[in-house]
Structure 1
Amino acid sequence: MIELKSAAEIAKMAVTGQFVGELLAELRDAAAVGVNLMDLEHQARRRIKERGAESCYWDYAPSFGRGPFRNVLCLSVNDAVLHGLPHKYVLRDGDLLSLDMAVGIDGWVTDSAVSVVVGTPDPADLTLIETTEIALEAGIAAAKPGGKLGDISAAIGKVANDAGYSVNLEFGGHGLGRTMHEAPHIPNNGRSGRGMKLEPGLTIAIEPWFCKSTDKIKFDKDGWTIRSADGSRTAHSEHTVAVTETGPQVLTRRPAEKPTTTRTKQPATS
């Protein structure tokens, strides 16, 4: 069942979205060569607790995965693209990191993801990340009242295909609001003019993710981390969007969007 949200309810989601956007930007900027993934995880836990928010990932136990997820972030490095399990890994020069988080505040949830290269970037990695971001904006632009769900999928898929990337359809965007995953499912490729009608009040997570040279995936032994089947680099971008009478409203915009390359961690000085 799809629940359309009122303007007041979307405003409450926007409060959550602002926090998610700000925290994701903070974590993105904290990611640097020499930083341990668990440092980012604990930074996020601290900020979520301080805000009185609730992680949607903690204790999440879907049909896939091995046991409940006991972290507040998905941190996926290089060939990992989705559901990366935070662990004691120190970021290296040139690593491509995707950060994904979903949080609830006062019962209203938003979800967002960003990818970044730490240290010295490979131009191909920057192109891959940029393509997910362009595809995300194309999907957002297609989320217009009166349109069809397939318009969003088709817009994302066209960007990917034009850039030479194939698209996996097993995981994609989704509805959300009171919970992290609601109907409908939003594939990252499809046909325009098909699917359900987009009505004001629909709240969705649009999340293009691509692998550099394949559309096949594999799971790590941890049961969570999803990687490209051929070991090629991956990237993931996501925003929570509300369909309104006047067009799409992005609820998780990050402040002062910065380039997709981050600095190298500086040594402490005495």
Structure 2
Amino acid sequence: MQNFAILLAKVITIGFTVLTFILVVITLVRPEWIESAINWIGELIKSLGNWNYLIAFLSACIESLPIIGTAVPGTNVMILIGGFWGKSHLFLTLIFAIIGAMLGNALGYWIGKVIGSEIIEKYGEYFGLGKTEEKILKKQIKKNGFWYIILGKFHNFTRAFIPFIAGISDMETKKFWLYNMIGSIIWAIAMNVIGIFFVDIYPDILRNLGYIIMAGMLTFLGYMYFFQREKLVKYLQDKNREIEEKIERKSKKI
């Protein structure tokens, strides 16, 4: 059963990655198709009415859970709901999104506190979270816990694992809840504001997506080269050491 759950999670993650790549390619080649799809989604969201509050709650909650949260496009869902529904129903949309995000983070924190180390030991490598990543995240959370929990909400991997690692690291519960509340409020407001602007300008975004992607990649590569090069080299060295130790342990068992 556990192996099936791991396989299912990996299939879902790979599926979403492939789907994202396909959508990017389609957007670059046939932006009018994506524009029509977004228009259809917008009409669907408006027709759902108050059900959008439940969707906002569940997407914010599930995307914050360890492992499965990496495969759930909760941020994308929140942007669309924020734009097409939250634009005229902002207060309640924010409330449900904030509560969902806080509960998802809290559940991840609790799981990490109770059985987190055991989960990483047995299954972490299947999701790109080995001992090297665990050590880095623990160190950063102890040093910059406030910023990691708040800003971690804006990345699909960190939002799923930062609360989890905070639990493993025995972060003080009161401190975690404070950071959790602040981060969830900032995230919910940001996603709704982005959504409101997005629905007004997405045709222009789709037409210029190639330039946007290129600018984003160049910015990222420049940042990594000039500001994170030493940390990246150290991470790769630690990761290679971890892999060699695993191979050695397996060879001894054989």
* TM range, smaller chain: under 0.3
Query: Which TM-score applies when normalising by structure 2?
Result: 0.27
Structure with more of its chain in helix, by fraction:
2
Q: Which one has a bigger Cα radius of gyration? A: 2
Structure with more of its chain in strand, by fraction:
1
Query: Which TM-score applies when normalising by structure 1?
Result: 0.26
